[in-house]
Amino acid sequence: MTMSTAQDTQGLLWEVFVQSKPGQPHKHSGSVHAHDKEMALQNARDLYCRRSEGTNIWVVPASEIVASSPEDIGSFFEPSNDKVYRHPTFYHVPEGITHM
């Protein structure tokens, strides 16, 4: 990763999460550049909600997001693969029993 040589500022990179309808979870829409929080919010609105896409927006500085690494796949996610008892299909429900 190279450092920028340009002596200019395009602001920080922010990640945008948009809620499409009330009650729905926020989903990642993309990124914007902005110099401050209010600008990030407005830029997100102006870019990602031009076609009635949203009812609420979160913006987060990209540098504040902590992500797991591809190398973590084994230790993070595979251990849950054999915990089948966490899923309802693991259990036998006698015939005739409903609402369960």
Partner 1 sequence: MDQIKLEENFQAKLDRNEMIEPKDWMPENYRKHLIRQISQHAHSEIIGMLPEGNWITRAPSMRRKIVLLAKVQDEAGHGLYLYSAAESMGISRDELLDQLHTGKAKYSSIFNYPTLTWSDIGAVGWLVDGAAIMNQVMLQRTSYGPYARAMVRICKEESFHQRQGFEIMQVLAKGTPEQKAMAQDSLNRWWWPSLMMFGPADDNSPNSANALKWKIKRESNDQLRQRFVNQTVPQVEYLGLTVPDKDLKWNEEKKGYDFGEVNWEEFYNVIKGNGPCNKERLSAKVQSHKDGAWVREAANAYAAKKNKVAAA
Partner 2 sequence: MTNQEALVNYCLRLADNNLILGHRLSELSGKGPFLEEDIATTNIALDLIGQASSLLQYAAEVEGKGRTEDDLAFLRGEREFYNTLLAEQENKDFAVTIARQFLTDAFDYFFYDELKKSADARLAALAEKSHKEITYHLRHTSKWMERLGEGTEESHRRIQDAVDNLWRFTGELFEMNEVDEILLKEKIAVDLNVVKIQWDKLVAEVFANSGISIPENVFMQRGSREGKHTEKLGYLLAEMQHLHRAFPGVQW
* Partner interacting with residue 70 (select from partner 2, partner 1, none; CB below 5-8 Å by kind): partner 1
Binding mask 34-73 for partner 2 (x = CB under 8 A): xxx-xx--xx-xxx--x-----------------------
* By the rule CB under 8 A, 64 interacts with partner 1: no
* By the rule CB under 8 A, 66 interacts with partner 1: no
The DSSP result for the chain, as a single string, is -PPP-------EEEEEEEE-STTSPEEEEEEEEESSHHHHHHHHHHHH-SSS--SEEEEEEGGG-----GGGHHHHHGGGTT-GGGSGGGS---TT----
Contact between 14 and 32 under an 8 Å Cβ cutoff? The reply is yes
Nearer to partner 2, 46 or 72 (CB): 46
Stretch of 19-27, 30-38, 65-73, 92-100 lying at the interface with partner 2 (CB under 8 A):
30-38
> Where do contacts with partner 2 occur on this chain (CB under 8 A)?
10-11, 32-36, 38-39, 42-43, 45-47, 50
